[in-house]
């Protein structure tokens, strides 16, 4: 739109940073509202979240296009090039977070047809809160460039995985207690998985930020704590 | 390692292309073997698939590093720049496909503790076959640059989504018939979802290839056919 304005390189980088900040805020809000829609069986709010996703798709394309034009035009070296590549990666992660929020919103009707105990929603809400704090913190680190804080995020990532595994187990138990719970709880399982994946995207962004700031790859991943794939009930005939 | 060898720009691009081809073959094999491990309750093969994932993690880092050095050193313009950015994106998608295969492999023990009817595995195998054909085809288009073939992939993408939704429904029915099926079928649901997502990654790669070859974004996404989020059984007390 403002193609007639010649921006300085720093201004162009700053513009990308602002777009990413807007994308981050938008993605957080979508996830937050999708969980709220689930808890309150609010189909209207769910529809709003689904419609809101278009903003992130457009913003990602814009960041990509601008970043590539920037590289081609300015031919940045080392540090600056990392900034631009980092912006492309972070935009992709944020767009995916929005997709996950949209997917939760799409399940609202299927979930709220049944009657789930509030404790399950509480578990999901707590998981979402943790994942969103993680996302918010990593975007703060990106804005402030204080990578030392990334180390603190590790513990919370483990917490998210542990909470997800326990929620997975709880949902299975509930399905076994009453077959009428199977359909809604299956959708809740996918919602929980989506939220756990938001934590993974926050981790991806942390790795990108580390790379942008230091020029090095973050030390290789610690073992994953998501143990849900092992969950088996031996005594599940009940 | 071979830093003393001065490669031409074309040779460096070709090297990236070869790494991506190797990554593609490796990811396909992992997914194929993970489903085989599931069908044959083969825990040994599952462990192999899990171990095989490290190759893709390493290869992605290598492609990223090489691509960024290439941009910084050669400062490519338009077409060549798109090639390099495309390589970064495709490597990320292939790494994710490997993760999805690994996740299926991790569920082998939990799934094969129960006794599932062969028809469910057959559904999963058919879904995997379709998704892997999709992945193979898009990598062929990438190698051959014949983007006209991308249009043909659309139909298959719709087929994958429809097949996934029907498998989702089938697995829910089976869980309702016998509560002992709940745990293994839940894991199978996640396996099916993983395979459906492999189809999505093939679509992402198709979009990247289109962009690399034409310099334009692929026309915006058609409506998604995955209707599984709507699946509700009204009469599920039985």
Query: Do B179 and A179 count as a contact with CB atoms less than 8 A apart?
Result: yes
Domain residue limits at B155 = 9-230
Is B178 a member of any domain? yes
pLDDT for the residue A236? 35
Which residues of chain B are at the A interface, by a Cβ-Cβ cutoff of 8 Å? Answer: 57, 61, 65, 68, 71-72, 75, 77-78, 81-82, 85, 88, 92, 103, 106-107, 109-110, 113, 172, 175-176, 179-180, 182-183, 186-187, 189-190, 193, 217, 220, 229-234, 236-238
| A68, A176, A221: residue with CB nearest B182 | A176
* Assigned token pair, B237: 């007390």
Listed in sequence order, the DSSP H helices in chain B are 9-39, 43-74, 78-106, 108-112, 118-144, 150-177, 182-214
Q: Compute CA distances B182 → A175, B5, B205, whole Å.
A: 7, 57, 35
Chain A residues with beta carbon closer than 8 angstroms to that of B57: 220-221
Give yes or no for residue A52 having a pLDDT over 90: yes
- Predicted confidence pLDDT, tens digits, chain B (238 residues): 444 455 788 888 899 999 999 999 999 999 999 999 999 999 999 999 999 999 999 999 999 889 988 888 877 777 788 899 899 999 999 999 999 999 999 999 888 876 666 777 889 999 999 999 999 999 999 999 888 888 878 778 889 999 999 999 999 999 999 999 999 999 999 999 999 999 999 999 999 999 899 888 777 555 555 678 777 654 333 3
Is A203 a member of any domain? yes
B41 Ramachandran zone, left/alpha/beta (phi>0; psi -120 to 50): left
Is B236 a member of any domain? no
Give yes or no for residue A32 having a pLDDT over 80: yes
CA-nearest of B169, B141, B167, B157 to B203 is B157
- Provide the number of CB pairs (under 8 Å) joining chain A to chain B: 100
B233 φ, ψ (degrees, to nearest 5) = -105, 110
Query: Do B231 and A110 count as a contact with CB atoms less than 8 A apart?
Result: yes
Residue A34 is part of a domain; what is its CATH number? 1.20.58.220
**pLDDT tens string A128-138:** 999 999 999 99
Q: What is the CA radius of gyration of chain B?
A: 20
Is B56 a member of any domain? yes
Q: Compute CA distances A7 → A21, A66, A74, A82, whole Å.
A: 19, 12, 11, 20
What mean pLDDT, rounded, does chain A reach?
87
Query: Do A179 and B106 count as a contact with CB atoms less than 8 A apart?
Result: no
Q: Cα A190 from chain centroid?
A: 14
Is A4 a member of any domain? no
Query: Do B189 and A193 count as a contact with CB atoms less than 8 A apart?
Result: no
pLDDT for the residue B224? 55
When pLDDT is cut at 50, 70 and 90, the band that residue A116 belongs to is low
Residues, chain A, total?
Answer: 238
Is B226 a member of any domain? yes
Q: Which residue of B has its CA nearest to A106?
A: B229
Q: Give the whole-angstrom CA distance, residue A171 versus residue A175.
A: 6
Give yes or no for residue A238 having a pLDDT over 50: no
pLDDT for the residue A4? 47
Task: For residue A233, give how far its alpha carbon lies from the nearest alpha carbon of chain B (Å).
Answer: 7
| A92, A229, A234: residue with CB nearest B103 | A229
Chain A residues with beta carbon closer than 8 angstroms to that of B86: none
Burial of B145 (0-12, 13-18, 19+ CB in 10 A): exposed
Is A26 a member of any domain? yes
pLDDT for the residue B2? 46
pLDDT for the residue B236? 35
ipTM of the complex: 0.83
For B232, the enclosing helix (H) or strand (E) is none
Task: For residue B116, give how far its alpha carbon lies from the nearest alpha carbon of chain A (Å).
Answer: 14
Q: Which residue of A has its CA nearest to B74?
A: A75
Number of domains in chain B: 1
Is B2 a member of any domain? no
pLDDT for the residue B119? 75
pLDDT for the residue B73? 82
Chain B residues with beta carbon closer than 8 angstroms to that of A190: 193, 229
Task: For residue A75, give how far its alpha carbon lies from the nearest alpha carbon of chain B (Å).
Answer: 6
* Assigned token pair, B124: 């999963």
Query: Do B109 and A230 count as a contact with CB atoms less than 8 A apart?
Result: yes
Chain B residues with beta carbon closer than 8 angstroms to that of A109: 230, 232
Give yes or no for residue A3 having a pLDDT over 60: no
| A78, A175, A217: residue with CB nearest B72 | A78
pLDDT for the residue B225? 58
Higher pLDDT, A195 or A111: A195
């Amino acid at each position: 739109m403002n193609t007639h304005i010649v921006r300085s390189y720093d201004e162009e980088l700053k513009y990308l940073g602002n777009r990413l900040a807007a994308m981050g805020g938008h993605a957080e809000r979508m996830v937050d509202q999708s969980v709220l829609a689930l808890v309150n069986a609010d189909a209207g709010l769910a529809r709003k979240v689904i419609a809101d996703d278009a903003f992130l798709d457009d913003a990602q394309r814009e960041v990509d296009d601008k970043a590539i034009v920037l590289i081609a035009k300015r031919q940045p070296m080392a540090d600056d090039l990392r900034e631009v590549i980092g912006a492309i990666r972070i935009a992709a992660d944020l767009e995916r977070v929005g997709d996950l929020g949209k997917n939760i919103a799409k399940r609202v009707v299927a979930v709220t047809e049944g009657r789930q105990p509030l404790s399950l929603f509480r578990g999901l809400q707590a998981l979402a809160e943790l994942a969103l704090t993680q996302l918010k913190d990593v975007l703060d680190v990106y804005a402030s460039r204080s990578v030392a804080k990334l180390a603190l995020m590790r513990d919370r990532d483990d917490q998210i995985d542990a909470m997800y595994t326990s929620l997975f187990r709880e949902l299975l138990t509930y399905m076994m207690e009453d077959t009428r719970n199977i359909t809604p709880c299956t959708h809740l399982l996918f919602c929980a998985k989506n939220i756990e994946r938001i934590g993974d995207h926050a981790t991806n962004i942390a790795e990108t930020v580390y790379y942008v700031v230091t020029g090095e790859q973050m030390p290789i991943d610690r073992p994953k704590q998501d143990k849900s794939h092992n969950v088996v009930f031996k005594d599940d005939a009940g």
